[in-house]
Chains A and B, each alone.
Chain A
Amino acid sequence: MNLTACLLLSAALFSIGAYGLVTRRNMIAALMSLELMVNAALINFIAFARFGGTHAGQGDAQAGSLFALFAVAVTAAEMALALAIVVAVHRQRRHLDIRELDGLHG
């Protein structure tokens, strides 16, 4: 268990999330892929907090944890709004297909 392993894990998680974001057509599924990518970023924060980066040989555990906390809070806000929109869209359109949602297309 070292920094490289954690970063590789997070890279793989991010890529999987990116794949999901490209291929999924359902709004909720796309949001879940986005969650995976955010999670990969969180793993990076904590990994750097534990092992330190290239400048200092030692991590700042407080800063890392707090940054992760902020990221979690931002995600919570984002998901609350996104899910409210999802439910509203579903009520109006009866579907959640991203490609069909072109009301702003003009």
Chain B
Amino acid sequence: MNVRDAFFYALCALLLGLAVLTVAAGNLFRAALALLGVLLCTAVLFLLLQAEMAALAQVMVYIGGIMIFVLYAVLLTSELGGRMPAPSPVKMLLGVAVAAVALGFLAGLAQKTGAGAAAARARMHAESATKESAASSADAEAGVNIASLKTLGQKLLDPKGFLIPFELISVLLLAAMVGAIAVARQGGAGVRGGSEPGAAAISVKDQGGAGAAESRGAPP
């Protein structure tokens, strides 16, 4: 076991530990922090797997964008230090059962796939070894496996590559943006109208949040 492997397994352990904390923490803010840690560990894992672009996207979109909104939602909707009620034993049992079934199924699949992939790689190496020298095939492998930014961009805009999903994603994002603004606007109108009997009892914390959300949710 070399240093890289040791680092990989330590990272896996940390990632899974944080994941458990995400689903088990009583305080919602702590859970969000643990999720932040999970995402960061995943980004480091992507770097280990030589996918720099995916790692950067993970940091920029998940950590720099989505998680900030999640934290906002948490702090707009929950009290400082507030605890969620623990799930009932029945639910917990059900959850463990679901998780165990999923884990068993996926782990079996993983073992099978891993073995199949190893066999495929061995087959390919055997083929390439008959054709060329081992050194040049290793070079070719290194060349293919590194996704440089330029090749990524070319593949993204290549009609035979990923052009259609790329364009569809932009439509999806636009639709999501319009939808989010519409939903947020309706919510704001409800508060302003004061139709809710409990609306008068908004804490100062929520008022600040509502004001900020309003000024953010008011697009050009």
Contact surface of A with B, Cβ cutoff 8 Å: 1-20, 22-26, 28-29, 31-33, 35-36, 39, 42-43, 45-47, 49-66, 68-70, 72-81, 83-92, 94, 96
Contact = CB atoms under 8 A, between A and B. Distances in A.
B95 A8 contact: no
Q: For this complex, into which size category does the number of interface residues on chain B fall? A: 35 or more
B184 to A, nearest CB: 5
B152 A3 contact: no
29 contacts: A7-B113, A11-B106, A14-B106, A18-B99, A18-B102, A23-B91, A25-B84, A29-B23, A36-B19, A42-B42, A42-B58, A46-B46, A49-B51, A51-B117, A54-B120, A56-B120, A57-B121, A57-B122, A58-B144, A61-B145, A61-B146, A68-B54, A68-B57, A69-B54, A73-B169, A80-B176, A83-B72, A88-B183, A90-B77
Interface of B: 4-5, 8-9, 12, 15-16, 19-20, 22-24, 28, 31-32, 35, 38-39, 42, 45-46, 48-51, 53-54, 57-58, 61-62, 65-66, 69-70, 72-74, 76-77, 84-85, 87, 91-92, 94-96, 98-100, 102-103, 106-107, 109-111, 113-125, 141, 144-147, 151-152, 155-156, 161-162, 165-166, 169, 172-173, 175-177, 179-181, 183-184, 186-188, 190-191, 196, 198, 210, 213
Contact of A76 (B31, B65, B103): B65
The 9 closest A-B pairs by CB, nearest first: A4-B114, A20-B23, A57-B124, A88-B187, A7-B110, A11-B106, A54-B116, A77-B176, A57-B121
Contacts, number: 287
A52 B121 contact: yes
A57 B125 contact: yes
Contact of B180 (A16, A28, A62, A80): A80
Q: Is the interface of A mostly helix, strand, loop or mixed?
A: helix
A81 B183 contact: yes
A19 B84 CA distance: 16
A16 B102 CA distance: 9
Nearest to B76: A87
Contacts of A17: 19, 23
